[in-house]
Amino acid sequence: MSPLRRRLLFGIPLALAVAGGEGFYIILRRMQQNDYDPHALPSPLIGKRPPAFNLPGADGMQGFSNTDLLAPPKPMLVNWFASWCMPCLQEAPMLMKLAKTGLEIWGIAYQDHPQDLANFISTNGNPYTRLAADASGLTAINWGVYGVPETYFIDKQGIVRWRYAGALTDDVVSGTLQPLLQKYA
């Protein structure tokens, strides 16, 4: 056996093991830092305007359509939620906190009953400037929503720049949302 072959035979499996280990280490570390979520899906809506829709208001508030999102005066969030969804309950205090900082948040209640929704809002507070109801869930399908809560970041041109599926946490807000707000301010 030539020395080169011997070296390759020993070195290649070692190099593969090291590369694999390094890859897993990076994935796990980024997952720990909330930097990477293997279940997250990229939204096809990113870089585009939301599809055409027109939803009625809910809980006595004004609803909205896609034309209302064409040119917000400053970047804003559209938050899909439902009173029956547990992570939405967890997320509610964070939304209140964000609304207090002056961030505009419009809500869409996904397949919700008016009474349950009213109870949810009166218990958890109302972070929304406008609140629409998607009772059939068909607008959600057009947006590519696959679960609640989902939060969409819309810039001043009305273009979706970011979608987050799941409850907004401190890490997500400080790590992703705040930089986006600065970038698109």
Partner 1 sequence: MRKLLFVLVLVPALAYAQTLTRDGVTLTPAQEARAEDIGSQLRCLVCQNESIEGSSADLAKQLRTIIRQQVVAGDSSKSIMNYMVQRYGIFVLLMPPFMRLTWALYASPFIGIILGFFGYWLMRRTKAEAPAPLTDADTRRLDELLK
Residues that bind partner 1 (CB under 8 A): 1, 5, 8-9, 12, 39, 41-44, 111, 137-138, 141-144, 146-147
Closer to partner 1 at the Cβ: 130 or 163?
A: 163
Closer to partner 1 at the Cβ: 44 or 57?
A: 44
Closer to partner 1 at the Cβ: 24 or 146?
A: 146
Residue 58 CB, nearest approach to partner 1 (Å)? 20
For 49-81, give the secondary structure using H, E and C: CCCCCEECECCCCCCEEHHHHCCCCCCEEEEEE
Closer to partner 1 at the Cβ: 39 or 182?
A: 39
**Which one-letter DSSP state was computed for residue 32?**
H
Instruction: Say if residues 95 and 79 touch (Cβ distance below 8 Å).
Output: yes
Instruction: Say if residues 134 and 110 touch (Cβ distance below 8 Å).
Output: yes
Residue 23 CB, nearest approach to partner 1 (Å)? 13
Instruction: Say if residues 78 and 154 touch (Cβ distance below 8 Å).
Output: yes
Residue 98 CB, nearest approach to partner 1 (Å)? 26
Which token pair is 91?
């997320």
